[in-house]
Amino acid sequence: MEPNVKSVWVGLCLTPASHSISCLTKAFSSPDEIYSADDESIAEALGSHKRDIRRLCRRDLSEAEKTIAFCSSHNVSILTWFDDAYPASLREIDKPPAILFVSGDRSLLNDPRKVAIVGTRTPSDYAARMTFDVATDLAVCGAVVVSGMAYGIDGVAAAGAMAAGGKTIAVLGCGLDITYPAKHVKLRKEIEKNGLLVSEYPPGSPPERFHFPERNRIISGLCSGVFVAEGTLSSGAMITAEYAEKQGKHLFALPGRLDSPLAEGPIKLMKEGARPVSCADDILSKLESEAPGTFDLSLLLTERMIPDFDAALNRYAVALSPGKAGGYAPRAQRAIEPFVNETPSPDLSACSDVERTVYDALETPRTPDELSTSGLGAPEILAALTTLEIVGLIRSLPGGRYERAN
């Protein structure tokens, strides 16, 4: 069924990750009523959301009509706040998305068995393999694994779920017509075939740096629990965990090495009450105790074919870090490569000049203050550090220092 053009118009007019849809629906009962309202009523309902007020007051449906036509021809469904099929779990979160673009099995949006797995884009071998094992067992028991399709832990989680014959959802930080990261083009196709792609950003939206923290509230909002495998204190995984805590979701964390910066996030979460995870049963038993009958834990004890980590990551062309040139190389293959190839050259092609300058200055670990000698201002440096860490090119260290990831 074709979406209502005025519902789509409202969704496209509103700023993502804002309170606008909540404000509007308190004042108006339908998209038609919003469209017919006078400018003063719209301004009164939205208050300080001036951009959204301007866009709504134009009452221009052409963008909505073009978006509907594009999505219809590209097998993308549109769900708005006003639709019955809109996921119930997202109605309950702060700053719910006014519009969602989805491709794949839409029924998964309202499946109560969703569990998020998040973590660093440059995981340790230990964390990657533990994530894979947990994801496969979650899928065997009926859980839908949700992640962001990023390098590292996200890709491993999706591969584990699919290798076990289960379902997975990827929440993207760009339009569904764009594959980001580009190295995950095969993974994206497999997720679309075996699960669902979701985005609140309309087709054509590039992967802006601020989209990824925004989309993390949707990852946690869709799920009953969030498992953090690895991540620094300032990582995107910890942003997702913060959203999960505010949303009242269960938090789970993978114990790691005390001397590893990537274990800082999970350790902090465990200190604050997150449940340590050594296997999928640690997650499933907790969720099952809250909602009996949701999962079939007995399936963990049945004899079955255990998916192979190396084979699955190669099958779905999962990149374990931004430096990987298209897929994961099994351990045996890595062992016979020349030592000079153990640390691949970083891909800086998508970085701005400022981000390259900051990266080049990190020949040794440095603080933001020490980086100011490069001639850049503090806001530029901090913005560049945030972006470089999000894409996995650098990592944070204790004491406020940063170093290159490779």
329 is a domain residue: no
Q: What is the mean pLDDT of the chain?
A: 89
157 and 229 together in one domain: yes
What's the pTM? 0.80
Q: What's the pLDDT tens digit per position in 218-230?
A: 999 999 999 999 9
Burial-class residue 5 by CB neighbours within 10 Å (0-12, 13-18, 19+).
Answer: middle
Q: Which residue has the tokens 């100011």?
A: 372
Which residue, 292, 315, 338, sits at the end of a domain?
A: 315
Is the distance from CB of 162 to CB of 172 less than 8 angstroms?
no
Phi and psi, residue 242, nearest 5°: -65, -45
257 neighbors 263 (Cβ within 8 angstroms): yes
> What is the Cα–Cα distance from 84 to 25, expressed in whole angstroms?
15
Q: pLDDT category, 285, cuts 50, 70, 90?
A: very high
What letter does residue 366 receive in the DSSP assignment?
A: B
Of all residues in the chain, the percent with pLDDT exceeding 90 is 72
Based on the fold, state whether residues 14 and 113 are members of the same structural domain: no
Is the backbone peptide bond immediately before 181 cis, with ω within 30 degrees of 0?
A: yes
Mean pLDDT of the region 341-356: 66
Answer yes or no: do 311 and 397 share one domain. no
> Are 282 and 175 contained in the same domain?
yes
Q: Do the Cβ atoms of 157 and 117 come closer than 8 Å?
A: yes
Q: Which residue segment(s) compose the domain that 55 sits in? A: 5-75
Is residue 341 situated within a structural domain?
A: no
Q: Say how many residues make up the chain.
A: 406
Token pair, residue 314, equals: 């190669």
Q: Residue 250 is encoded by which pair of tokens?
A: 């269960």
Whether residues 294 and 221 share a domain: the answer is yes
pLDDT (average), residues 171-178:
95
3-state SS of 250-300 is: EEEECCCCCCCHHHHHHHHHHHCCCEECCCHHHHHHHHHHHCCCCCCHHHH
When divided into structural domains, the chain yields a total of 3
Is the residue at 394 inside a domain? yes
Provide the token pair at 327. Answer: 């897929």
If asked whether residues 41 and 179 sit together in one domain, one would say no
Q: Is the pLDDT reported for residue 212 higher than 80?
A: yes
Nearest to 197 by CA among 211, 177, 183: 177
Averaged pLDDT for residues 374-383? 77
Query: pLDDT (tens digit, 9 = 90+) per residue, 69-126?
Result: 999 999 999 999 999 999 999 999 999 999 999 999 999 999 999 999 999 999 999 9
Rounded distance, CA 67 to CA 400, Å? Answer: 44
Please count the other Cβ atoms lying within 10 Å of the Cβ belonging to residue 119: 31
Please say which residue of 32, 53, 75 terminates a domain: 75
